[in-house]
Amino acid sequence: MCEDKKEGKTSNIESLGEVRLKKYRLCMELVNVVRGTVLKRYKGKEELLAEQPVDSKFEVYILTLCCEMLTEYCRVRYKTTAEEDEKLLKRKNVKGRLRFAVLFRLEAKNIVLSNIKYLKLLIQILKKVKSKKRFKETYMEVIENLETKEEVNRNRRAIRWYLRSYYYFFKDP
């Protein structure tokens, strides 16, 4: 359990066990574990499953929770931001073990930050989706403030497994 010494709060992401994040792909295992954990306490629709997204409002809640957990993990785990690490690497007096440690820490942060970005993209896509008929058209739109037109295809490849399962199991309201 990760503890924040300033506020005494604990991070829930480490209580989930080992979850391996990848830089260019959304971690479906994280989403499924969080969904399964929340479903144990959820009092709502009966047909919700831990492995499959069914209800759009519930999925937005799950994705928001995952995003908050990763953000909190980053805040507690790393004392510096990615921008500060990049500035540190540009200095000429950083050599050897320190340079390697900062590079390693920066790459770890970038992996977590990329998963946060994918979760935010999914949240925006799910908020826009109204029916299966317009699903592909909706998810291929550029999400303002999160991506450029050039990044759309790469980002959709990173979240494609979630989009496929959502499309397959999504029930129109």
The domain locations on the chain are: 2-79+118-169
Across 60-69, 111-120, 135-144, least confident range: 135-144
Give the rounded percent of residues in the chain with a pLDDT score beyond 70: 79
Residue 85, class by beta-carbon neighbours within 10 Å (0-12 exposed, 13-18 middle, 19+ buried)?
Answer: buried
For residue 12, count other CB atoms closer than 10 A to its CB: 16
Who contacts 132 (Cβ-Cβ below 8 Å, separation ≥6)? 167, 170, 172
What distance in Å separates the CA atoms of residue 153 and residue 97, rounded to the nearest whole number? 37
Q: Where are the alpha helices (DSSP H) in 3-150?
A: 28-39, 56-77, 82-90, 96-128, 135-139
Does 153 have pLDDT greater than 60?
Answer: yes
Pairing of the two strands 2-3 and 10-11: antiparallel
Q: What is the pLDDT of residues 15-41, one digit of tens each?
A: 556 778 888 999 888 888 888 888 777
H or E element: which one contains 34?
Answer: helix 28-39
| pLDDT score for 71 | 93
Q: What is the mean pLDDT of residues 125-150?
A: 82
What distance in Å separates the CA atoms of residue 94 and residue 155, rounded to the nearest whole number? 33
| pLDDT score for 38 | 81
Give the rounded percent of residues in the chain with a pLDDT score beyond 90: 32
* SS3 state at 141: coil
